[in-house]
Amino acid sequence: MINTKQAFSSFSVNDLAEAKEFYGDTLGLDVAEMPEGLQLTIGGLSVFLYLKEDHEPASFTVLNFPVDNVEKTVDELNGLGITFEQYEGELETDEKGVFHGGKGKGGGPEAIAWFTDPAGNILSVMTAEHMAEDKKKSASAKS
């Protein structure tokens, strides 16, 4: 069987030094330099970033950060120079870049806001309570 204790996620960037500064200095994450790239440690999760010369940003969210207060976190990240994506239509965001109402619109977090890393990869901050609800649903489905 697969050893799930050391599973990790990965995605590419086009500049490791820029990624190290963004994830380590700007976002305040634990970043370790490895011979092949960068290892982010977020809680118990490990995410590996590797250099890809012909990098193309993912067209989907590669990393989500559950937070207690999305609005407050957006304000704090704005203060660090991070700008948030603006969407229209089904996922229409407000003036800050926050989408509200996931619960009433087919599920998802109550609030979520998307931003990009220097390589253009999409990241998000989202309500942490959504994660707790998903864990409860998963646990009850297994029993």
Name every residue whose Cβ is closer than 8 Å to that of residue 112 and which is 6 or more positions away in sequence: 70, 98, 99, 102, 124, 125, 126, 127
pLDDT tens-digit series, residues 13-58: 999 999 999 999 999 999 999 999 999 999 888 999 999 999 999 9
- Please write the tens of the pLDDT for every residue from 22-33: 999 999 999 999
CATH number of the domain within which 61 lies: 3.10.180
Q: Does 124 lie in the same domain as 63?
A: yes
Residues 122 and 61 grouped into a single domain: yes
| Same domain, residue pair 40 and 86 | no
Domain ranges, residue 114? 57-143
